[in-house]
Amino acid sequence: MSVLAASFLLLVSASVAQNSTKAPISITLSTPHSQYPVGQQIEIDIILENTSDKEISVLQDNARSKAELSYEIDVLNGTGRRPPYSRWGKILHGQDPGDGTIGDVSDSHQIHHLQPHETLSDSAVLTTIYDLSSPGQYVIQVTKTSPPSAVKKRFPDTEPDKPVTSNAIKITIAKP
């Protein structure tokens, strides 16, 4: 085997080993029901767990039931498309500057220190983020991403370093 081929295999092996490092957190997503009538408020519950064997620090927004300020919440309909954002969803995703009447995307994060297997819970109301007025099946998943670099500079030891995605759940929205 040539030196070049051996170096390539070593580089690939190191890359695979580095990418297979287990994240120190896991995220579990749930809803109280799997079926909702059109127009009903749909709340999701998010449990973040420290799966490591040491204390970790997690940055999370202080506002309860506003998990969308700490997680990216993805919803796809039965055709694999994202439903339209509500007005709040547009403000969250920078598609509407807002006028101050709906809410503020502010910097109210706090560091939570979690011991091994300790959990942090939050929730979000999907119907305030997305227009879910069309009947059908939807798949929901949340991702906790690394804090923005400006925040990471202020809080360098917060997790996760790489995005961590929850389980995917399905719900059905039906005509009443």
Whole-number Å distance between alpha carbons of 131 and 90: 11
**Cα separation, 72 vs 83, whole angstroms:** 15
Going from N- to C-terminal start, the domains of the chain cover: 23-174
Q: Rounded CA gap, 44 and 54, in Å? A: 28
Question: What's residue 23's pLDDT?
Answer: 86
Instruction: Judge if pTM exceeds 0.95.
Output: no
Contact 23, 49 (CB under 8 A): no
Q: Measured between alpha carbons, how far is 123 from 11 in angstroms, rounded to an integer?
A: 42
Give dist(CA 8, CA 17) in Å, integer: 14
pLDDT for res 33:
97
- CATH T-level topology, domain 23-174: Immunoglobulin-like (2.60.40)
Q: Please give the chain's pLDDT, 176 residues, in tens.
A: 443 333 333 333 333 344 457 889 999 999 999 999 999 999 999 999 999 999 998 888 777 678 888 899 999 999 999 999 999 888 887 887 766 655 555 556 788 899 999 999 999 999 999 999 999 999 999 999 876 665 667 767 777 778 999 999 999 999 98
Per-residue pLDDT at 3: 39
